[in-house]
Amino acid sequence: MERGEWKKSLRGKPCAACKQQRKKCEEDCVFAPYFPAESQQRFAMLHHVYGTSNVGNILKELDVSQREEAMKTLAYQAEARVRDPVHGCMGFIYNLEEKLEKRKMDVQRAKLELAKYISPEKISELMQNEAQHNQP
């Protein structure tokens, strides 16, 4: 979103960062394109975890083309840290890895159960088909 576009869409509303700081949202506000007034809760988490000044410094150091993705990433990480103060994003990743391992074990158990009802040759054929299907 271009600076002029977001300013027109604000209609006098300060961005979430300026609202949090209780200040007027200036034309050159570095936060406004990434934290419109409606995203106050999202910015509040970012502020809580990283601090407004630190986020502003990060924004200023980045190339304009990198800022949007950086703010999405920081907001996601801040939300994860608020939900899980100890592990943050890694807690979510560990949880997914545990689920994946459980599903792999479920598949292995299902294959063993199938082996009771299907001949070893047919299982070998199914495994080869599966291996071919999973190749990139």
Q: What pLDDT does residue 79 have? A: 94
pLDDT(4) > 60: no
Domain containing 12 equals 3-83
My answer on whether 94 and 76 are in the same domain is no
8-43 residue pLDDT tens: 444 568 999 999 999 899 888 999 999 999 989 999
Q: Domain count for the chain, please give it.
A: 2
104-119 residue pLDDT tens: 999 999 988 888 888 8
Q: Report pTM.
A: 0.65
My answer on whether 64 and 7 are in the same domain is yes
My answer on whether 68 and 41 are in the same domain is yes
My answer on whether 46 and 21 are in the same domain is yes
My answer on whether 108 and 124 are in the same domain is yes
Q: How far apart are the first and last CA of the chain?
A: 37
CA–CA separation, 83 vs 110, rounded Å? 35
My answer on whether 50 and 10 are in the same domain is yes
pLDDT(87) > 60: yes
Q: How much of the chain, in percent, has pLDDT values that exceed 70?
A: 90
My answer on whether 62 and 24 are in the same domain is yes
- Tell the burial category of 14 from Cβ atoms under 10 Å away from its Cβ (0-12, 13-18, 19+): buried
**Which among 68, 83, 98 is the end of a domain?**
83
Give the closest residue to 67 by CA, choosing from 24, 34, 29. Answer: 34
Contact 29, 43 (CB under 8 A): no
Please give the structure tokens belonging to residue 77: 């990480």
My answer on whether 125 and 98 are in the same domain is yes
